[in-house]
Amino acid sequence: MSVTETGATLWLTGLPSAGKTTLAYELAGRLRSEGHRVEVLDGDEIREFLSAGLGFSREDRHTNVARIGFVAGLLAAHGVKVLVPVIAPYADSRDAVRKRHLAEGTTYLEVHVATPVEVCSVRDVKGLYAKQAAGEISGLTGVDDPYEAPESPDLRIESHRQTVQESAAALHALLTERGLA
């Protein structure tokens, strides 16, 4: 395999509206333009098609992350750069995915999109913070449900302090540093 055919999973974790999906698609476009095989496993799409029926209990969230991690690992093992913009609020769930990748000899990189909840609630891409504030929903990650930020991610991005392009460039630099781009 050439370097461009080496797969990897790049998991972007962070609060709702942190910018994970926006960054993933920005990076995906750049990688594709360089000839890489890329897939984005968007959390909302996965919940609709692969994890339909799961709720947001700790157990269901763990199952969702495990399923996404399994698919990401399969794709990465076949030479795909897999970008996973999924909250994955619990460290033990993310660690289980990392361990599975390591056991399979597949690269797993964890990126914390470290956008403060105050910024996320202003962005409120899906209206979740407004619904939570109005009492229409509960269990919002980082507000009234836990979010365990990574203690030592491979990269920490403060998307509120730089442009999408700058953040994507930092992600690309990480992949280049690891011989993956």
85-127 pLDDT, tens digit per residue, is: 999 999 999 999 999 999 999 999 999 999 999 999 999 989 9
Q: Is 39:138 a contact under the CB 8 Å cutoff?
A: no
Q: Which pLDDT score, from 0 to 100, does residue 51 have?
A: 86
Residue set of the binding site: 14-21
Which tokens sit at 129?
């913070």
Q: Which pLDDT score, from 0 to 100, does residue 59 have?
A: 95
What is the model's pTM? 0.94
Which of 99, 41, 102 lies closest to 67 in space, CA to CA?
A: 41
Q: What is the distance of C-alpha 80 from the center of its chain?
A: 16
| pLDDT above 90 (res 11) | yes
Q: If you average pLDDT over residues 148-165, what whole number do you get?
A: 96
Residue set of the binding site for ATP: 14-21
**Taking phi first (over 0 means left), then psi (-120 to 50 degrees means alpha), and beta for anything else, what does residue 5 get?**
alpha
Write the CB contacts of 154 (distance below 8 Å, at least 6 apart in sequence).
109, 110, 111, 174
pLDDT single digits (tens) 34-89: 999 999 999 888 988 888 889 889 999 999 999 999 999 999 999 999 999 999 99
Round to whole Å and give the CA distance between 16 and 5: 32
